[in-house]
Amino acid sequence: MKIGLLGYGKMGQLIERYAIKRGHEIAWTIDANNREDITSVDLKTADIAIDFSTPDAALDNISLCFEHDLPIVVGTTGWYDHLEEVKATCVDANQSMLYGSNFSIGVNVFFHVNKLLARAISPYKQYDTQVEEIHHIHKLDAPSGTAITIAEGILEAYTDKDNWVNRLEGSGEEIIPAKNELLIESLRLEEVPGTHTVLYSSEVDQIEFKHTAHSRDGFALGAVVAAEWLVGRKGFYQVTEMFDFNK
C-alpha cells in the first residue's frame, strides 16, 4: 500500500519504519511543520492515511480524508466528544474509518479480559475498583484513551458504577469519587510508554490486572496492521473489530 502519515512525531516515524518493513510505501507526511502544505499535497496518491497527530488536528484531518474519499486510521485520542458526529458523517458519506485508543495486540487482549473480569466480580459488592494509568510527560490528554476504554469496559458489567472521573496527579485538584463513580488515576512520568492497571480491592484481598508497554513499537505495528485490515472496507470501525476473541 501507499500510506499517508498525518503526524510525523515519534509515533509517525515508528509507523513509517514498520510500514516499510511490511512492504508498504510512504506517499507523504504532514505534521505541524508543514501543515500549510496539506492543501497542495495530492492526498489521493495514498491508498490510506494513518493519523497520529494531536487532538486539535485530528478532526480536521478526518474531514479532509472524507472529502478526498481516502480511508483513514486514527490513533489520536482526545477528540472523542465528537465521536458520534464523526461516525454519522462517515456512514452518510460512505467513507472508511477505523479508530482506537490503542492498537497494540496485547492491549486489545487486555480490553477483552478486562470485561470478563469485571463481569465475574460484579456480584461481589465487597470489592471496589479503580483504574490507574501512567504515561510519559509529553502526553496531551488525561486520562489516556486506553484508560477510558478500560473504564468503559468495566462500566458495562460493573452494576454499582455508571460513570468515571479522573484524578491527574500533580494537578492540585482533589477528586473524590462518589460511590457510583469509577476513579481513573493518571500519572505523567518521564518517558513511560504506557502502564495500565485495574485494581479490585476489599478488606481481605486485592486483585491487580496490569498491562505494561515496553515501547511504542506495539502501537505502531498495530496501526499498520489496522491500515491493512481497513483497505477495501467501507464504514466506521473500532480497532476491537479487527480481533475475534470468540473463536
Q: For 174-207, write each residue's pLDDT tens digit.
A: 889 999 999 999 999 988 888 999 999 999 999 9
10 noted as active-site residue: no
Q: What is the pLDDT of residue 154?
A: 96
Q: What is the largest CA-CA distance in the chain?
A: 63
Asked if the bond preceding 143 is cis, omega within 30° of 0, the reply is: yes
Q: What is the pLDDT of residue 207?
A: 97
Q: What is the pLDDT of residue 247?
A: 57
What is d(CA 52, CA 28) in angstroms, rounded to the nearest whole number? 14
Asked if the model's pLDDT at residue 65 lies above 80, the reply is: yes
Q: In this structure, what C-alpha cell is assigned to residue 171?
A: 494537578
Q: What is the pLDDT of residue 172?
A: 79
Q: Give 4-55 pLDDT, tens digit per residue.
A: 999 999 899 999 999 999 999 999 999 888 877 776 677 889 999 999 999 8
What is d(CA 28, CA 46) in angstroms, rounded to the nearest whole number? 8
Catalytic residue among 115, 135, 196, 211: 135
Could you tell me which residue, 37 or 169, shows the higher pLDDT?
169
Q: What is the pLDDT of residue 171?
A: 81
Q: How confident is the model at residue 216 (pLDDT cuts 50, 70, 90)?
A: confident
Indicate the pTM of the whole model.
0.80
247 noted as active-site residue: no
With contact defined as beta carbons under 8 Å apart, do 72 and 47 qualify?
Answer: no
Q: What is the pLDDT of residue 39?
A: 66
Alpha helices in the chain (DSSP H): 10-21, 55-67, 83-92, 105-121, 145-157, 217-230
Q: What is the pLDDT of residue 43?
A: 84
Average pLDDT over residues 148-172: 91
Asked if the model's pLDDT at residue 140 lies above 80, the reply is: no
Average pLDDT over residues 63-87: 94
Q: 3-state class of 104 per DSSP?
A: coil
With contact defined as beta carbons under 8 Å apart, do 129 and 208 qualify?
Answer: no
With contact defined as beta carbons under 8 Å apart, do 142 and 186 qualify?
Answer: yes
DSSP tally for the chain: helices H, then strands E = 6, 11
Asked if the model's pLDDT at residue 244 lies above 80, the reply is: no
User: In the predicted model, what is the mean pLDDT of the chain?
Assistant: 92
Q: What is the pLDDT of residue 159?
A: 79
Residue 237 host element (H or E): strand 235-238
Could you tell me which residue, 161 or 244, shows the higher pLDDT?
161
Catalytic residue among 139, 161, 196, 211: 139
Could you tell me which residue, 111 or 43, shows the higher pLDDT?
111
Q: What is the pLDDT of residue 205?
A: 98
What is d(CA 128, CA 183) in angstroms, rounded to the nearest whole number? 10
What is d(CA 239, CA 128) in angstroms, rounded to the nearest whole number? 29
What is d(CA 24, CA 184) in angstroms, rounded to the nearest whole number? 38
Q: In this structure, what C-alpha cell is assigned to residue 30?
A: 504532514
Q: What is the pLDDT of residue 190?
A: 85
DSSP state of 68: T
23: Cβ contacts below 8 Å, ≥ 6 apart: none
Q: How many CA atoms lie within 13 A of 223 on its CB side?
A: 33
Average pLDDT over residues 65-86: 94
